[in-house]
């Protein structure tokens, strides 16, 4: 599984990265985590508001930091 965090390196982006890594670990999911900070790459996903969570190329959440339980549901 590939999990990408889209954002320009803001505090919310860091919070999303941390919550996503914790959620995956608690579910026992092995995943590749990638931070995408290049605005051109972010725009390729059609995301206009960051942070965003992308799982295997599909945007799951944009513009907010979901809590860990919500992330777990998205990863299942």
Domains annotated for the chain, with CATH where assigned, are 2-75 (3.40.30.10)
**What percent of the chain is modeled with pLDDT above 70?**
100
Alpha-carbon torsion (69, 72, 74, 76), positive or negative: negative
Question: pTM higher than 0.75, yes or no?
Answer: yes
Query: Tell me, what's the pLDDT at 9?
Result: 85
Q: Which SS3 state, helix, strand or coil, does residue 42 take?
A: helix
Catalytic residue among 13, 42, 52, 55: 13
- Quick check: 22 and 75 in contact, CB under 8 A? no
What stretches in the chain show pLDDT beneath 50?
A: none
- Options 1, 8, 10, 43, the catalytic residue: 10
Active site residue 10: yes
Mean confidence (pLDDT) of the chain = 96
pLDDT per position as a tens digit, 17-32: 999 999 999 999 999 9
Q: Give me the helices (H) in the chain, please.
A: 11-27, 39-44, 68-75
Q: Is 21 a catalytic residue?
A: no
pLDDT at 56: 97
Percent of the chain at pLDDT > 90 equals 95
């Amino acid at each position: 599984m590939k999990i990408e965090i889209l954002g320009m390196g803001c505090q919310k982006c860091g919070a999303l990265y941390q919550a996503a890594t914790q959620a995956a670990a608690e579910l026992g999911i092995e995943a590749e985590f990638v931070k995408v900070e290049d605005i051109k790459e972010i725009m390729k996903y059609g995301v206009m508001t960051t942070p965003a969570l992308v799982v295997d190329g599909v945007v799951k959440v944009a513009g907010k930091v979901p809590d860990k339980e919500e992330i777990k549901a998205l990863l299942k």
